[in-house]
Structure 1
Amino acid sequence: MSAGLSGISGLAAWLPERLAEAAPLVTVVGDVMLDGWFSGRIDRFCREAPAPVVDMAHRDYAPGGAANTAMNLAALGAKVRMVGLVGPDDAGSRLRGLLSAAGVDTAGLIEHPDVLTTTKYRVIGGDQIMLRMDESTPRPPAEALQQLAAALPDAVAGSDAVVLCDYGSGALEGPLADVLHLQREGKLLVVDAHDLRRWRTLGPDLVTPNAQETARLLELAFEPETDRAGLLAEAAPDLLAATGARAVVSTLDRDGTLLLTHDGGTHRTWASPVSEKQASGAGDTFVACLTLARAAGLPLTTSQDLAQVAADVVVHRPGTSVCSTADLAGHLGAFTEAALGADELARAIATERAAGKRIVLTNGCFDVLHRGHTSYLTQAKQLGDVLVVALNSDASARRLKGPDRPINPAADRAGVVAALSCVDYVTVFDTDTPIPLIESLRPDIYAKGGDYSAQMLAETPAVEAYGGQLAILDYVSDHSTTAVVRRIRAQDGAGEPAAGTGPA
């Protein structure tokens, strides 16, 4: 496990390359499958029934399920071993070939004569999925399960992390759990399973249930208007007890993800909205990136943020796809010119407001991003629908903080803040207070950290003048930029931070 990344917070475009350089060894164990995407035009209906005829133009194949998790890990720079069951059929051969071509070690991919390789073939007419055809072995024979368990010790040996992907096909039944328990010591264990109760005795480091799986664990029913994240935060002790995990990251599709830990801590990400209905496997991408980042030594909250970005990359693509190191770096790099000018921001907010969205505005230097910042911005996002973060310009920050600040220029600060999933828009202001911006945007809510009071803020009269609401948020004590900068300078021997150290 790399120790060199453990001090990084915030998402910089160079971070994916650093993760790839760390190249942890990850073993993926689980239900492998082959996805097929068959597409063409629809110009007529068949004579035999009122069914459309798809004139096939393309046949695309991709590893799915646990194999898709392995593909994403390899694309992000991990060394990967795959353990799973396939049959002696064309699908199994194709799946093995695709994995091997991506650099995945398939020595643990067990072929058994009485097993059918699980396949999911989708037929697409135009831009609509018309049909999905599935094939699998209902219950793998005991001999196949024994062979799979026997392959596990060699596959897990020397690994930094193990990802268990259990989609309920039966391939992970039998003695595998007992063998994994014996081989687990010293390895990060991430479990992505339809039924997490099966694996609670392993004491996973992380589990990643989706919304439906979480609801089943808690015996809840999510209504369309349910605040799922809020409900899960309240039920955190029950969820952690049911899974036996050190931490839970529940993936909530359109609502992003929620981290829950035993100390009562939470961390939220927000998904990038998408109308594309043909994307598949974004959850696998999330698990892969989350595992890679943790195995390389990144903090859990930063790993979660980075995994959300990776999932956002693939959810905008049709079919079963992967997020590579270049994809992730490119997506983060797109935030380099993140700050909007006053006119562009005003147009964007007018569009959001016309759609009925509640606008939240907050401001600050956000010089060296730390946990206090991310906690505060997450709270601000939860007050409304759209979060605008206004950054003090470099000149404004110097007037406010002193001649040796900011550490990072406005463009870099804007890029890092914009990369957070809770932030929708970033702008930079040059005045000593954001009052002119407040008067221009007229946000529904103006938010500030809890080290202020309404009476202390010069902005309060401006907000109240148009009927806006002022929100004082919780302050995360013992987390300040000044303290972080002091630690950095102490470690680097005084003066400016060492070149290349990125945001702290």
Structure 2
Amino acid sequence: MTDTSTVDPMAGDDHELPELTPDVPARLAALRPRVLVVGDVILDEWLTGNAERLCREAPAPVVAIDSRTVAPGGAANTAVNLAALGASVRMVSAVGADDSGAELLAALEKAGVDTTSVAVEPGRRTTAKRRVVAGEQVLVRLDDGDRDQAPLTGVPGLADGWDAVVVCDYGTGLLSEAVLDAVLATRPPLVVVDAHDPARWARLRPDLVTPNAGEAAAVLGTSIPAGESLRFLDEHRGTLLTRTGARAVVVTLDRDGAVLLDGARPVHRTWARPVPDNHTAGAGDTFCAALTVARCGGLPSVVAVELAQAAADVVVHRPETAVCTVDDLAERLGGHGTVLDHDRLAALVGEHRAAGRRIVFTNGCFDVLHRGHVNYLNEAKRLGDVLVVAVNSDESVTSLKGEGRPVNGVADRAAVLAGLSCVDHLTVFDEDTPAALLTRLRPDVYAKGGDHRAELLTETPVVREYGGEVRILSYLPDRSTSAVIERIRGGRSAHRPPRPVPRRS
């Protein structure tokens, strides 16, 4: 991997968190992590046209095909997304000596993925998924290829010094116990498992597993109650971690974002920007790829899943099987959190309220973002549907905190908050308190961190007068901005350069 000392600091998990700003994807790409992807590859084919009549033979639409596109799918989609985010990638898999296999290999090579470890076998039929689309509606999907794959006998090139290996096991039989043994024998610093049955890979003791809700439920042997996924997964994190053997589990919930369960740390959820289901092909592969690049670059787990969510949000807003590039991700991070003036914010809050959404409001200086901030903002978002964050202006921070503060200007502080998927709207206010803004917006909930008491807040009477609710959230000791600044001034900076996640013994 490229020498990380030339890349600007990204912090560790415990105190100050790195800024998830538009320059982060390029800085991660500059590290050029070496990633081996092992797993089931698919050729995704999209046949798109118009359907204006029914056929005579059956009550089925006649689709006049206008275009045909193909793209790498499954583990191959993970590989091309990794390459698009700057990784040096080699694919380990097998395809048939057929047209689909040739097209898939050509698409991988065009995307910059090394295919020298993909076996081409005459007796094998390449898996292909063909979707027929009329307008924006998928009418039918035709699956072709071997349903039960002949297993790989090993992992070529595993001992070549990879920074990470990503195992993509979709239950076809391609990945045998021999593959598990090979990865165990030469374990890279980071191991990520994306599998229909992640418990099968528990012996590998992966650093990350990324099941979806159904796969996590299967590991637990029970269904996840509707509307209670966060609480349920948090309560069962011990079982999930034990049965998967993983250091951390990220459960992807499609349009509901993702849930990070990282050891004993507080649960963290991301929020997705939902789209119709016909747009979601491959979003999980993109999520896994971005998560891997982020962790290879030393980003802490909370920031890594936020980056991965941003990448997934890029591709679900595109038709067919899409790829998120460095530039795409930078644009997404840069365009997510425009600071609104109070008039525009009031209009948007009115629209949300008319749509029946519950509005949550919080405020603060947010001078140096740390885990305490992220946990409390994440918790605040869970109290409603829309989270509005009001940031103290530079003059207001100086008035409250004294000379030398803020450390970061308001534009930088707002940009950092904008990178969090839980934040829906941002604004800036000049006063010492947001009382006037609260009176104007009338949010359903006014949330503050656990180092406050409701009866001592000057905003409490304002909120209660219009019928709102004041909520004091949980508190993490030693997670304050002042504590972080004191550590930095004392020569114990939380900042350190990006680094690969260390190998576990």
Structure-2-length-normalised TM-score: 0.93
1:249 equivalent in structure 2: 250
1:320 is paired with a residue whose SS is: coil
User: In structure 2, what is the Cα distance between the partners aligned to 1:244 and 1:214?
Assistant: 13
2:301 equivalent in structure 1: 300
User: In structure 2, what is the Cα distance between the partners aligned to 1:449 and 1:319?
Assistant: 42
Please provide the CA RMSD for this pair: 1.9
CA offset at residue 261 of structure 1?
2.6
User: In structure 2, what is the Cα distance between the partners aligned to 1:140 and 1:259?
Assistant: 32
CA offset at residue 6 of structure 1?
4.2
2:501 equivalent in structure 1: none
1:203 equivalent in structure 2: 205
Measured against aligned partners, the alpha-carbon deviations of 1:447-490 in whole angstroms (never above 9, x if no partner) come to 11111111221111111111111111111111122232344455
User: Quick one: structure 1 residues 80 and 344, their matched pair in 2 at CA, closer, same or farther if it must change by over 3 Å?
Assistant: same
1:425 equivalent in structure 2: 425
User: In structure 2, what is the Cα distance between the partners aligned to 1:252 and 1:138?
Assistant: 26
- Counterpart AA for 1:192: D
Match of 2:161 among 155, 158, 168: 158
Match of 2:116 among 107, 129, 134: 107
1:368 equivalent in structure 2: 368
Aligned residue pairs, count: 486
Measured against aligned partners, the alpha-carbon deviations of 1:268-302 in whole angstroms (never above 9, x if no partner) come to 11111223623310000000000111011111111
For the 8 Å contact 2:224–2:232, the answer to whether it is kept is: no
1:69 equivalent in structure 2: 78
- Counterpart AA for 2:249: V
- Counterpart AA for 1:22: L
Please show how residues 15-414 of structure 1 align to structure 2 within 5 Å: 15-141=24-150, 145-146=152-153, 149=154, 152-184=155-187, 186-223=188-225, 225-275=226-276, 277-335=278-336, 338-414=338-414
User: In structure 2, what is the Cα distance between the partners aligned to 1:132 and 1:84?
Assistant: 23
- Counterpart AA for 2:482: T
Measured against aligned partners, the alpha-carbon deviations of 1:377-405 in whole angstroms (never above 9, x if no partner) come to 01111111111101001111111112322
Please show how residues 7-18 of structure 1 align to structure 2 within 5 Å: 7=11, 9-18=18-27
2:330 is paired with a residue whose SS is: helix
Runs of 4+ aligned structure 1 residues displaced above 3 Å come to 1-6, 486-493
User: In structure 2, what is the Cα distance between the partners aligned to 1:9 and 1:213?
Assistant: 31
User: In structure 1, what is the Cα distance between the partners aligned to 2:80 and 2:334?
Assistant: 23
Higher mean C-alpha displacement, 152-161 vs 88-97? 152-161
For the 8 Å contact 1:83–1:155, the answer to whether it is kept is: no
- Counterpart AA for 1:292: V
User: In structure 1, what is the Cα distance between the partners aligned to 2:265 and 2:296?
Assistant: 23
2:112 is paired with a residue whose SS is: coil
CA offset at residue 13 of structure 1?
0.8
- Counterpart AA for 2:204: L
- Counterpart AA for 1:245: A
- Counterpart AA for 2:311: A
Measured against aligned partners, the alpha-carbon deviations of 1:322-356 in whole angstroms (never above 9, x if no partner) come to 110000001111146x1111111111111111111
- Counterpart AA for 2:395: A
Any gaps of 5 or more consecutive residues in structure 1?
498-504
User: Quick one: structure 1 residues 242 and 174, their matched pair in 2 at CA, closer, same or farther if it must change by over 3 Å?
Assistant: closer
Measured against aligned partners, the alpha-carbon deviations of 1:216-267 in whole angstroms (never above 9, x if no partner) come to 11122245x4311111111111111111111101111122111113325321
1:501 equivalent in structure 2: none
**Sequence identity percentage:** 54
Measured against aligned partners, the alpha-carbon deviations of 1:140-183 in whole angstroms (never above 9, x if no partner) come to 335xx22xx1xx14145210000000011111125211112112
2:457 equivalent in structure 1: 457
Measured against aligned partners, the alpha-carbon deviations of 1:176-227 in whole angstroms (never above 9, x if no partner) come to 111121121x42100000011211111111100001111111122245x431
For the 8 Å contact 1:236–1:260, the answer to whether it is kept is: yes
User: In structure 1, what is the Cα distance between the partners aligned to 2:325 and 2:315?
Assistant: 10
For the 8 Å contact 1:114–1:141, the answer to whether it is kept is: no
- Counterpart AA for 2:175: L
For the 8 Å contact 1:19–1:292, the answer to whether it is kept is: yes
For the 8 Å contact 2:150–2:174, the answer to whether it is kept is: no
For the 8 Å contact 2:92–2:156, the answer to whether it is kept is: no
For the 8 Å contact 1:81–1:155, the answer to whether it is kept is: no
By relative contact order (CA 8 Å, sep 6+), the higher-ranking structure is 2
User: In structure 1, what is the Cα distance between the partners aligned to 2:464 and 2:120?
Assistant: 69
Any gaps of 5 or more consecutive residues in structure 2?
12-16, 496-505
CA offset at residue 51 of structure 1?
1.3
Measured against aligned partners, the alpha-carbon deviations of 1:340-374 in whole angstroms (never above 9, x if no partner) come to 11111111111111111111110001111111110
1:328 is paired with a residue whose SS is: helix
- Counterpart AA for 2:438: I
2:407 is paired with a residue whose SS is: coil
User: In structure 2, what is the Cα distance between the partners aligned to 1:217 and 1:227?
Assistant: 17
